[in-house]
Chain A
């Protein structure tokens, strides 16, 4: 029976010659309906629900696809790009050479808001009025109201990526990042909410945080846990991670000693707040040793590409591609 042949072939391991013969047999017009029926049953039997894949490798493949699909995208993209460019230009003019700045909005009766910004090429370490320390990654911003000290709760809003070392003073501390709100007392954790990624990420180093919002039921994280929130699906997952990989960007020097390339790239994605894509057969398991200080990302990625025996391309400020 044609169905048996198809089922057994798909379940088994066969040499190339047999696979070639099977393919030529499959496209023979003889019994095409029975063959299609058998194929469709195989397809239906595979369920997609439990294998949603958002590993680094899969995201890389998706962004390769994005570069092809963007070519066929319609005209609406141009104005968006131009608008962004204008904003970036305005910020550069305002900041000149400083790595960060305090921008006070015009004062009025309402509490005014204070905003901290890092440029695309620098990070910053800031102290809030209560002694809480915040590290902001490249191209990120943090804002809070001027009544921060007097209010009964401490509220800040984050765009981009920030690492928080919150001082406990009896008042709750809230970070709003997109749809999500993180509530803490005293603790250290990292929040990422960036347009570069479809997912927001909250990584807890110590203490405890409670996350609300975004149509998910509130979640409390324990140290070492990371919550990933898919902005599109509105769903979240919690997993245990090596938090060092996610907060290493705040250190002035990072050292990688004989680590797989995939892990190094994960760290560098956070250090430079860029999206790294690999194409072709770049070996993510290859081990490299590297020390990263305050070098520009161009320099570090060209060293990485040398060590990993591949080439590097910079698509725009936010994207780095390694190709073999």
Chain B
């Protein structure tokens, strides 16, 4: 049977075709979502939601030629929807372009890359626990030493060192994206 025939049967409400598409594509949806979300159980939920929506909107499949391409638009929508709801709004730049070479070694040549990198760095910082952000900012913006940061925040020196280490290593992870 041709795929187009399967699609028409699904649009007509065939449970068997639904099961067939599910068994064939659900692993793909899950692995694709996991690659983008880095969260396996969230990806499994998204996969279930997507297929439920495919079923609920099966009538709109009549004009569809490739099920896989149709599925992509559904999956993309679900993932974007999740990220929109959990969106971090970048505040005023905490990290300036001139800070980048120090953090990543400075081989960002294209202007577009600098823009993306700056956005990602600031978003990553924004995603960190509040205490870690505070420690990092005091150290970066005011040039305080770890001991001074500890004094100013009332945190133990060990805690400050831990947060600084974590913040730097998480930001450096971004270096591998470019």
A interface residues with partner B (beta carbon < 8 Å): 1-2, 4-5, 8-28, 30-31, 36, 39-40, 42-44, 46, 48-49, 51-54, 58, 61-62, 64-66, 68-69, 72-74, 198, 232-233, 281
Kindly supply a per-residue 1/0 record for chain B positions 21-42, scoring 1 wherever the CB is within 8 Å of any chain A CB and 0 otherwise: 0111111100110011111010
Number of interface residues of B (CB under 8 A): 59
Assess the A17–B124 pair: CB atoms within 8 A.
yes
B64 on the A face (CB < 8 A): no
Assess A20 versus B123: contact at CB under 8 Å? Given A48-B24, A48-B28, A51-B27.
yes
A233 CA to B124 CA in the complex, in Å? Answer: 47
A31 CA to B16 CA in the complex, in Å? Answer: 40
- Which listed residue (A2, A18, A26, A232) contacts B16, Cβ 8 A? A232
Q: Which residues of A contact B17 (CB under 8 A)?
A: 232
Q: Which residues of A contact B48 (CB under 8 A)?
A: 61, 64-65
A324 CB, min distance to chain B CBs, angstroms: 12
Show 7 residue pairs from A and B whose CB-CB distance is below 8 angstroms, ordered by the A residue. A19-B39, A21-B88, A27-B83, A27-B87, A43-B72, A46-B31, A62-B19
Assess the A48–B25 pair: CB atoms within 8 A.
yes
Assess A23 versus B82: contact at CB under 8 Å? Given A54-B23, A58-B23, A61-B44.
yes
Segment 69-103 of B: residues with Cβ below 8 Å from A: 72, 75-76, 80, 82-84, 86-90
Chain B CB within 10 A, most for which of A9, A16, A24:
A24
B60 CB, min distance to chain A CBs, angstroms: 14
Assess A10 versus B36: contact at CB under 8 Å? Given A23-B83, A25-B123.
yes
Q: Which residues of A contact B83 (CB under 8 A)?
A: 23-24, 26-27
Assess the B16–A68 pair: CB atoms within 8 A.
no
Q: Which residues of A contact B13 (CB under 8 A)?
A: 73-74
Q: Which residues of A contact B156 (CB under 8 A)?
A: none
B147 on the A face (CB < 8 A): no
Assess the A69–B127 pair: CB atoms within 8 A.
no
Assess A65 versus B51: contact at CB under 8 Å? Given A5-B178, A15-B170, A22-B120.
yes
Q: Which residues of B contact A4 (CB under 8 A)?
A: 177-178
Q: Which residue of B lies closest to A51 (CB)?
A: B27
B168 CB, min distance to chain A CBs, angstroms: 12
B63 CB, min distance to chain A CBs, angstroms: 19
Which 10 A-B pairs give the minimum distances between C-beta atoms? A21-B123, A23-B83, A21-B124, A10-B35, A20-B127, A17-B127, A19-B38, A24-B88, A232-B16, A48-B28
Main secondary structure of the interface of A (DSSP, over half): helix
Q: Which residues of B contact A40 (CB under 8 A)?
A: 72
Assess the A36–B76 pair: CB atoms within 8 A.
yes
Assess the B123–A5 pair: CB atoms within 8 A.
no
Q: Which residues of B contact A64 (CB under 8 A)?
A: 48
Assess the B86–A20 pair: CB atoms within 8 A.
yes
Q: Which residues of B contact A11 (CB under 8 A)?
A: 35
Kindly supply a per-residue 1/0 record for chain B positions 131-151, scoring 1 wherever the CB is within 8 Å of any chain A CB and 0 otherwise: 000000000000000000000
- Which listed residue (A12, A17, A42, A44) contacts B128, Cβ 8 A? A17
Assess the B170–A18 pair: CB atoms within 8 A.
yes
Q: Which residues of A contact B80 (CB under 8 A)?
A: 26-27
Q: Which residues of A contact B159 (CB under 8 A)?
A: none
Assess the A14–B173 pair: CB atoms within 8 A.
yes
B155 on the A face (CB < 8 A): no
A233 CA to B17 CA in the complex, in Å? Answer: 9
Assess the B126–A51 pair: CB atoms within 8 A.
no
Assess the A39–B174 pair: CB atoms within 8 A.
no
Assess the A48–B68 pair: CB atoms within 8 A.
yes
Assess the A18–B23 pair: CB atoms within 8 A.
no
Q: Which residues of B contact A51 (CB under 8 A)?
A: 27-28
Assess the B18–A18 pair: CB atoms within 8 A.
no
Q: Which residues of B contact A16 (CB under 8 A)?
A: 38, 127
Assess the B44–A19 pair: CB atoms within 8 A.
no
A40 CA to B75 CA in the complex, in Å? Answer: 11
Assess the B76–A21 pair: CB atoms within 8 A.
no
- Which listed residue (B24, B26, B72, B173) contacts A18, Cβ 8 A? B173
Q: Which residues of B contact A21 (CB under 8 A)?
A: 88, 120, 123-124, 126-127, 174
- Which listed residue (B23, B28, B177) contacts A9, Cβ 8 A? B177
- Which listed residue (A13, A48, A69, A233) contacts B18, Cβ 8 A? A69
